[in-house]
Structure 1
Amino acid sequence: MGRRLLLTNSFLFIISLLSFLLPSLHALPLSTNSRWIVNNTGQHVKLACINWSSHLELMVAEGLTKQPVDVISKKIKDMKFNCVRLTYPIYLATNKTLASQTVRQSFLNAGLSKFILADLQANNPSIIDLSLNDAFQAVVASLAKNNIMVILDNHVSKPAWCCGYDDGNGFFGDQYFNPKLWIKGLTKMAALFQENPYVVGMSLRNELRGPSQNTKDWYRYMQRGAEAVHKANPNVLVILSGLSYDTDLSFLRTKPVSLSFTGKLAFEVHQYSFSAGLDWKTKNANQVCGNMTNNLMKNAGFLLDQGYPLFVGEWSVALSSISQSDTKYLNCLLALAVEHDLDWALWTLAGSYNFKDGILGKNERFGLLTQNWTDVRNKSFLQKISVIQSPLQGPETSYRQSHKIIYHPSTGLCILKKPVMGIKLGNCSESDHWTYTPQYTLDIEGSYLCLKAKGLNRRAKLTIDCQRRGTTWAPISASKLHLATRLSKNTTACLDVDSDYNLVTATCKCLRSNDTCDPGSQWFKIADANDFYY
C-alpha cells in the first residue's frame, strides 16, 4: 500500500512539474541544421553549459551536502549557463543493486561520518532517502524547473574518478566497459527521460582512451549506441566523442558515420591547456596558440564544414589561481570559440567533492564555485566568457544581416565607437557593425569611419581618411591574433590595450620564437556576428 501511494504521489508530482513547464517548452526539442543546433522554430540555440559531476563512487551529484539542489540549479541559471552536462556512470542504469540503494546507504557504505549525513539531511531532506536512480532524476527535475537544458554524459561505466589511461573504463572491451551492457544502459537512460523535454542530448561516452582503442571498434559500437539511443528517445541530440581522450575525430574526415537518422547528430571534442604539456609555459604563445588552433581544427573542427555541430564538452583553467600559461591558453581558446561560435561545456561547477581520493569535501581548483558552493570563485572569469554564452552566428534563415565584431579575449570585451572619433572596449552585445574590407581597413558600417593608428604608444582613433598609413590592419604572428599596421616605411605597430584599458598602438610583442611573454593585451579576433530576427 505504501509503495502504491508513493508511486501515485510520484506520478502526480511529474504531471504537476510538466504542467508548470509546458508554457516554456514550445521551442524544444532541439535538432541540427547543418553545423548549427536549432530549436523547433529553426532558431539557433547556443549550448553554453557547465559540467556537474555525478559519476564518482557515491553516484550522487556533487554539492548536495553543501547546498539544496534547487539553490544550485538557480545559481547555474543566474550565472547565465543554459545547459548542464550532467555526468553519470553506466552502472547507474545497469546495476540494480547499486542503483537501488538510497543516497543515505551510499554514504554509509563509503564509511562517511554522521556529520556529513547531517549536512546532506539539512540541505536535501527530500533526496537523502531516495534511491540513487531517483536522486539523479531529482537533480534533472530541479534543472528543468529552472529552465536549464541537460546533456546526459556517460562518463564511465564503474563509478570512479576519470580518467586513467589504463583504468579499465577507457575503451570497449576493457575490464569495466562491456559494450553490450553499455548499450543497454544508454537505452535505459534515454527511455527514462523520454518525457522530459529539457533532456536535450546524450553524450554517449566520455574520453575514450587506452591501449586497446581503435577506429574499427569505435565505428561498430558508437553507431550501435547512437541507433539505440535514437530509437529509445528520438527527441535527444546524439553526441559522439572521439579517441585519445576525446581529442581526435580525424578518422571521420574520410569515413563518416552511417546512421539511419538525420538532424540529431553532433560531435564532441575536449581541449585543455595541459594537452600541450608545458608548451604554454616554455614556448612562444603565438606558436602554441597557432598549433592548438590548427590541431583542433584538423582533428575535429573540420566537422563544422561537413555540416555537423561541434560541442567542446570540456575545457577550463584552474580558477582558484589562473596562471600566466593558463591565461594564454584561455585567450587563445576564447578567440577560437568566438570565431566559430562553438557550443561548449565548462569544466566544472564543483567547488568541492562529496568524497574523492579518500578526502571529504576535497577542493576542486577548476571549480567555478567556491569550496562551500556558495559563491563564484572568480567573477572576472564569468565576465570574460560572457560573450560566448550567447549565439553570435546561426543558419542563414535566422538572421537579417551579418557584420564583424573586434573581440579582445583578454578582457572579454569588443571595440566600440565613442564620441569625438574615439574608440573604447565595451560589451560585445553593444558592438558597432564593423566590416573588414578587401583593402584591410576596419570600417564601421553606414559611416565613413575606419580605425586608424595615430602613432606608437598613442590612442587609436576613428578617421574618415581611410587611405593613409595606419588604417590597414593585418593579422600577423602564428596565432593570427595580432592586428598590425604600418606607421611608416620602417615602423609597424600592433593594436594594444594599455593598463588603463585604453586602445593604443604599440610595438608588437612576443613575436620572436624564443619569447615566452604573454601577448594577451595585443590579441584581437575579427569575427562574424549576425543580427537575428528574434
Structure 2
Amino acid sequence: DGAVAANPSLRGKTPLQVYDVVVRELTAAGLAVILNNHTNTTRWCCGLDGNERWNASQSTETWENDWLFMVRRYKDNKRVVGADLYNEVRRDLWDDPNWGLGDKHDWFAASQRLGDRILTEANPDLLIIVEGINWTGLPVDGFPHGRPTLESVRHLSHTLVDSGKLVYSAHFYGYTGPNHSGATGLGETSDPRYQDLTPAELVDVLNRQAFYVAAEQDRHFTAPVWISEFGVGGREETSARARAWFENFVDHLIRTDADFAYWPLVGWHEGRRGNGWALLHWDASGHRMGLYDGDDWRAAAWTRLIRATGRTGPVAPVAHWSMLSPDHGDFIASRRMRALPDWDPGARKAVCPDGQRLLGLAHTGNRGLCSDVTT
C-alpha cells in the first residue's frame, strides 16, 4: 500500500499493467517512450546475475518473442518510438559476447535478426536501438579485457530491412574506462578510467569508441548515435576527477550535438542528502531535492547542456550506404525478397535494401556494399 499511496489506482495491478499505465501517462503528456530490455531477471544489474546477455537466463527464442509481444502491445501508440534491444551486453563467468562470429553469443547477429523481425512482424515505425558490447575478457591485469562499445561497427555494421531505422547507442561513466570495468577491489585493474584521461585523451577515446559512427559521413556504418546512459555521483560527489570528467563529457556532447539520456533522472534515497546519482529525488520524509535547489555542483554543466544550440529544422537528404554481410547464412533480405519464395533456403546470400543497388563486392570477408546514390 505504501508503494502506491500516491497512485491508489495501481493497487492490485500486475507489473505489466503498471507498465501500461506508465507508458500511457508519459505519452499522454507529450513525451516519447523507448522500450528498453534492461534486465531479464528481477535483479539489479550489472554483475554475474543472469542478465549478462539477451540469452543468459533464457533462450534467444524467448527473448525475441517477448520483444514482439511488447512491441505489438503498444503499436497503436505512436509516441512509443523505439526499441532498445538489450542493456550492456557483457561477459558472463565463462563466455564473451562477440560481434559477428555467428554463434549463440553473437550480439551483432542476434540484434540484426530481432530488429528485422520487429520491423517486419510487429511495427515498421519503430527505431531499432542497438547498444555496443559493454565488456569482454577477464578484468585482471595481464589478461585481455575491455569495453568494445561501438568500435566493431567500423568493420561490421547492421543493415536492417528498412534503411533509416537503425540507431546505435553507448553508455559512458567516468568511473569506467576503455579497459576498466569500473570495479573497485575485486575485478579492479590498473587501466585508466575515463575520468583519469586528459580532456584531449578523453575526446580521442570517445570518438574512437562511439561518436565516429555519426561523425563520419558516407560510410557503411554511418548512423545516429544515442548516448543512452551517462551520469556522475550526484550532488555529494567530491572527487575532483569525477567532477572534471562530467564537465568534459558534457562539453563533448555539446560539441558533437549528440543525443543523450542521463542516468537516472529520478531516484529515491533515505536521508536528507543520500548518495544517489539522480537529478531529482525525494528523501524519506517526502522532501524533494532537485538539481536547482542551490547546492548541486552539476547544475551549471547541466544547464549548459540542455540550453546548447543544436541542429534544428529540415535535414537535407543524404546518401544511404549499406553493408551486406552474409557471413553465416541467409542474413539480409529486402522487403521485396521477403515477399517471394526462398529460392535457396539456408544458403549464404544477401540482398540490398529496397531502393538501393549493389555497388561492390569484396572477396575478403565475403561482403558487399549497397547504396542509393545515383550514377
Q: Which has the larger share of strand? A: 1
CA contact (8 A) 1:315 1:345 kept: yes
CA contact (8 A) 2:88 2:131 kept: yes
- Counterpart pick for 1:271 among 138, 161, 172: 172
Q: Residues of 2 paired with 1:375 and 1:264: CA distance?
A: 39
Q: What SS is found at the alignment partner of 1:126? A: helix
Q: Residues of 2 paired with 1:253 and 1:280: CA distance?
A: 23
Greater length-normalized contact order (CA 8 Å, ≥ 6 residues apart)? 1
User: Shift of residue 328 of structure 1?
Assistant: 0.8
Matched, 1:308 2:219: no
Flag the 1:247–1:128 CA change in 2: closer, same or farther, 3 A: farther
Q: Residues of 2 paired with 1:343 and 1:295: CA distance?
A: 18
Counterpart amino acid of residue 49 in structure 2: D
Counterpart amino acid of residue 223 in structure 2: Y
Aligned-residue identity in percent: 23
Residue 319 of structure 2 corresponds to none
CA contact (8 A) 2:194 2:202 kept: no
Q: What SS is found at the alignment partner of 2:34? A: strand
Residue 473 of structure 1 corresponds to none
User: Shift of residue 349 of structure 1?
Assistant: 2.3
CA contact (8 A) 2:174 2:194 kept: no
Flag the 1:320–1:336 CA change in 2: closer, same or farther, 3 A: same
CA contact (8 A) 2:195 2:242 kept: no
CA contact (8 A) 1:186 1:228 kept: no
Flag the 1:267–1:138 CA change in 2: closer, same or farther, 3 A: same
1:444-491 Cα deviation digits (max 9, x unpaired): xxxxxxxxxxxxxxxxxxxxxxxxxxxxxxxxxxxxxxxxxxxxxxxx
- Counterpart pick for 2:116 among 205, 227, 234: 227
Q: Residues of 1 paired with 2:166 and 2:110: CA distance?
A: 15
Matched, 1:163 2:163: no
Matched, 1:343 2:256: no
Q: Residues of 1 paired with 2:155 and 2:192: CA distance?
A: 30
Residue 366 of structure 1 corresponds to 277
Residue 33 of structure 2 corresponds to 150
1:295-333 Cα deviation digits (max 9, x unpaired): 221122221124311000111011131331211111110
- Counterpart pick for 2:303 among 386, 394, 400: 386
Q: Residues of 1 paired with 2:281 and 2:82: CA distance?
A: 28
Flag the 1:122–1:194 CA change in 2: closer, same or farther, 3 A: same
Structure 2 unaligned runs (5+)?
Answer: 136-146, 181-190, 317-375
Aligned CA RMSD, in angstroms, stands at 2.8
With structure 2 as the length reference, what TM-score do the two structures score? 0.66
CA contact (8 A) 1:222 1:240 kept: yes
- Counterpart pick for 1:135 among 18, 24, 47: 18
Q: What SS is found at the alignment partner of 1:319? A: coil
User: Shift of residue 133 of structure 1?
Assistant: 0.8
User: Shift of residue 386 of structure 1?
Assistant: 3.0
User: Shift of residue 182 of structure 1?
Assistant: 0.8
Q: Residues of 1 paired with 2:303 and 2:38: CA distance?
A: 27
Residue 96 of structure 2 corresponds to 212
User: Shift of residue 120 of structure 1?
Assistant: 2.7
Q: What SS is found at the alignment partner of 1:293? A: helix
Counterpart amino acid of residue 201 in structure 1: G
Flag the 1:397–1:139 CA change in 2: closer, same or farther, 3 A: closer
User: Shift of residue 157 of structure 1?
Assistant: 1.0
Matched, 1:259 2:160: yes
Number of aligned residue pairs: give it.
271
Flag the 1:154–1:340 CA change in 2: closer, same or farther, 3 A: same
Structure 1 unaligned runs (5+)?
Answer: 1-116, 354-358, 399-534
Residue 249 of structure 1 corresponds to 150
User: Shift of residue 145 of structure 1?
Assistant: 2.0
CA contact (8 A) 1:170 1:177 kept: no
User: Shift of residue 149 of structure 1?
Assistant: 1.2
User: Shift of residue 395 of structure 1?
Assistant: 7.0
Q: Residues of 2 paired with 1:194 and 1:327: CA distance?
A: 41
1:26-81 Cα deviation digits (max 9, x unpaired): xxxxxxxxxxxxxxxxxxxxxxxxxxxxxxxxxxxxxxxxxxxxxxxxxxxxxxxx
Q: Residues of 1 paired with 2:90 and 2:22: CA distance?
A: 29
Larger Rg belongs to? 1
With structure 1 as the length reference, what TM-score do the two structures score? 0.47
User: Shift of residue 150 of structure 1?
Assistant: 1.1
Matched, 1:188 2:69: yes
Flag the 1:156–1:300 CA change in 2: closer, same or farther, 3 A: same
Q: Residues of 1 paired with 2:58 and 2:249: CA distance?
A: 32
